[in-house]
Structure 1
Amino acid sequence: MGNQTESIAKQGGRLVICLRPITLGLWIGFVGTLFAGQLAAQGKLSDLSKTAQARVVKIYGAGGLAGLEAYQSGFLVSPEGHVATSWSYVLDVDPIVVLDDGRRFESKIVGFEPALELAVLKIEASELPFFTVNKQSGIQWGDPVLAVSNLFGIAAGNEPASVMQGTVASITDLDARRGTYKTPYRGQVLILDLIANNPGAAGGALVDAQGELVGMLGKELRDAATGVWLNYAIPSDALRGAIGDIIAGRKSSVVDTSKPMLDRGKSHSPKSLGLVLIPDVLEATPAYVDDVLADSAAMRAGIRPDDLVLLVDGRRVENQRSLRELMRRIDRRDEVEITVQRDTEIVPLMLRP
């Protein structure tokens, strides 16, 4: 952007991008001076960076279409190996988690919250350094922050995660309408004056001058109309409840095997609810809706073609096979709660037979 920097403010309920000329040296000097003052009582900036880096992990999973990267970032939220990260196509397979010291672990997805673009993974480890997710972060406009992530996949082993420093440029509501910033998240975000949307940065940690977690770095978002990139983080206090519910087992992606498989004539199925899915030709074909049968529970609930089924009764739908297995455990006389992704919206629906 040359000798310009972005500031984003909310005016009349809309995000407004303002370009203000400023020399790069002056800006770096200003941010550095601000950090120096804030960190004087806490010790060296390098110590703060190392502490945060020890709590950030590298995540490797599935690649996306058109050569999209197969890696992203996450951060530890418990000493027992729970990792918070951004929900994305990278998690279409059980990913590999690499710790700051280079140790590699296979992980399992224990739960996710699509509306927050949040997923929680679990690795088999203990006594790990972790971030406490506080009720209130206390972060304010103009506060200095560090963004810690595996941007560009540079840190493949025991190399430390990358650290960028900057400030919170604005705190505002994100309205990611179709044709602008595409994300299902609807809520408050921290707008950052650092480049936090590079490949691999999503799911990284945003920390304040005391080393406390204040947010999770968001995905790469670009306004289709203006071409402007948005650098943002979801505040940690918005994530706290969902992270706690997932770790406690109140929201889980694991099939509840305590419920027995019912006979096909007694259980639900996609067809019994009026769902016609796309052809199941792959080992892990996504549960996309191809058509909806007339006068069916699915039609009455408002399911549409091209909807992607994400959850059934709060359980994650990994593919069409898992969808059928989940429905085999639900009595055909019972209603079914289904959550779908429709374009960039997350839509919960209740299907009543």
Structure 2
Amino acid sequence: MWAWVFGVGLWGGNHPLSAADRSPVEAEVQSKVVKLYGAGGLAGLQGYGTGFIVSPDGHIATIWSHLLDADAVAVVLSNGRRLMGRVVAAEPKLDLALLKIDATGLEHFDLTRSAAGGPGTRVFAFSNMFKVAAGDEPVSMQHGIISARTKLAARRGRFASNYSGPVYVVDAITNNPGAAGGILTDRRGQLLGMLGRELRDAQSQVWVNYVVPAGEITPTLQAMMRGEYTREKVVDPLANAREIPPRTFGLILVPDIVYRTPAYIDEIVPGSVAATAKLQPDDLIVFLNGKVVGSVRTLQAELNLLQPGEDAEFVIRRGSELITVQFPVPLSLDEKQ
């Protein structure tokens, strides 16, 4: 349930609070939270998000998402200062990314002093949900309690969450558009964890307001900041799978001649599912199954993750129009589409 929501102004009951009445904890935490602006703006994907500063030298933790597919991510500090950030490391299995901006002497969360919570712990959540702040305005602040600590089993549509470890479930509606990468603190302003994505419980399909505990991401963040982090090698069950070329769906793309060649359609194979869907040369593929397609290479990488029998949903840009088409992945790549 909603308790207090703090956006451009602070509210206590039905009366706005003056700046002098604001909690010292709120003021201290606000200086450590940043607004992020990057890729997005199409097909319901927001081009904004939240992060939090984890070193005085400009390291920023946030959720790993489509927002970071841009060449650079705009970072707005609490005082309104706008800087460009770059991704220095990411761990999709933790839904975690680390950005770096050129700044020093920043107020930040000391990861060695993060806290732990449990059911009944009273908490604050900070995020730029719904893009309530764009400059030096404070981000939203919510008040609630931790309802449970459990393992995450959630989905977005038919796609399971990357992260499946321990989470705090909170009683405030924290996981809103733009909130992912925000923070949960205790009443003293100590870091408890990072706000997660907009996901539904895998069984009940109810939206889950969850937070990844600081203890789950701190060792990885510390290794990333030291430049020592290497992702754990895992056995990829698709490593030996056959490549799924765009031609499987009747799509012939423009030649991949530069590093980030946009995924424009060059030709349509007559009689294919793409022809039946009336796709055309010069159409641009911008999303595949909700993932941003930044180039011909990223499209091929995403196609290779598809499983036989599942659906491939393409979002196509034609001029100013967005067109969504869905094709089944053939059970055999020899099967004509």
TM, length-normalised to structure 1: 0.61
Aligned partner of 1:218 in structure 2 is 196
Deviation at 1:176, TM superposition (A): 2.9
Aligned partner of 2:86 in structure 1 is 108
Secondary structure of 2:23's partner? Answer: helix
- In structure 2, the gaps of 5 or more residues are 5-20, 232-240, 247-251, 255-259, 264-287, 308-337
Distance 1:95 1:144 in 2: 33
Distance 2:129 2:25 in 1: 19
The one-letter amino acid paired with 1:88 is S
- Inter-CA distance 70–178: structure 2 relative to 1 (3 Å threshold): closer
- Inter-CA distance 224–239: structure 2 relative to 1 (3 Å threshold): closer
Secondary structure of 2:39's partner? Answer: coil
- Inter-CA distance 167–342: structure 2 relative to 1 (3 Å threshold): farther
Contact 1:60 1:96 in 2 (8 A): yes
Task: Choose the corresponding residue for 1:90, options 54, 67, 77.
Answer: 67
- State the Cα RMSD in Å: 3.6
Secondary structure of 1:202's partner? Answer: coil
The one-letter amino acid paired with 2:194 is M
Distance 1:104 1:321 in 2: 31
Deviation at 1:244, TM superposition (A): 1.1
Is 2:33 the partner of 1:56? yes
The one-letter amino acid paired with 2:124 is L
Cα deviation 1:308-328 (Å, max 9, x = unaligned)? 99xxxxxxxx8666999xxxx
Distance 2:113 2:305 in 1: 28
Distance 2:79 2:56 in 1: 15
Aligned ranges 1:130-145 → 2 under 5 Å:
130-134=108-112, 137-145=115-123
Contact 2:62 2:182 in 1 (8 A): yes
Distance 1:102 1:217 in 2: 22
Task: Choose the corresponding residue for 1:188, options 155, 166, 169.
Answer: 166
- The percentage of counterpart residues that share the same residue type is 41
Is 2:196 the partner of 1:228? no
Contact 2:120 2:146 in 1 (8 A): yes
The one-letter amino acid paired with 1:248 is R
Deviation at 1:67, TM superposition (A): 3.1
- Inter-CA distance 68–140: structure 2 relative to 1 (3 Å threshold): same
Is 2:52 the partner of 1:75? yes
- Inter-CA distance 105–179: structure 2 relative to 1 (3 Å threshold): closer
- In structure 1, the gaps of 5 or more residues are 6-23, 29-43, 254-272, 286-305, 310-317, 325-339, 344-353
Distance 1:280 1:250 in 2: 38
Task: Choose the corresponding residue for 2:148, options 162, 167, 170.
Answer: 170
Cα deviation 1:1-40 (Å, max 9, x = unaligned)? xxxx6xxxxxxxxxxxxxxxxxx9xx88xxxxxxxxxxxx
Aligned ranges 1:281-300 → 2 under 5 Å:
281=254, 283=261
- Inter-CA distance 136–147: structure 2 relative to 1 (3 Å threshold): closer
Cα deviation 1:124-160 (Å, max 9, x = unaligned)? 0000000012376231211011101101001100001
Contact 2:51 2:60 in 1 (8 A): yes
Secondary structure of 2:111's partner? Answer: coil
Count of equivalent residues? 246
Contact 2:156 2:200 in 1 (8 A): no
Distance 2:61 2:156 in 1: 27
Is 2:217 the partner of 1:242? no
Secondary structure of 1:67's partner? Answer: coil
Distance 1:144 1:229 in 2: 21
Distance 2:305 2:60 in 1: 24
- Inter-CA distance 68–341: structure 2 relative to 1 (3 Å threshold): same
- Inter-CA distance 319–246: structure 2 relative to 1 (3 Å threshold): farther
- Inter-CA distance 215–341: structure 2 relative to 1 (3 Å threshold): farther
Is 2:106 the partner of 1:150? no
Distance 1:171 1:180 in 2: 24
Is 2:75 the partner of 1:128? no
TM, length-normalised to structure 2: 0.64
Deviation at 1:242, TM superposition (A): 1.1
Cα deviation 1:78-105 (Å, max 9, x = unaligned)? 0000000001111110210000000000
Contact 2:155 2:202 in 1 (8 A): no
The one-letter amino acid paired with 1:239 is I
Secondary structure of 1:141's partner? Answer: coil
The one-letter amino acid paired with 2:138 is P
Distance 1:144 1:176 in 2: 24
The one-letter amino acid paired with 1:92 is D
Q: Which moved more, 1:192-201 or 1:217-226?
A: 217-226
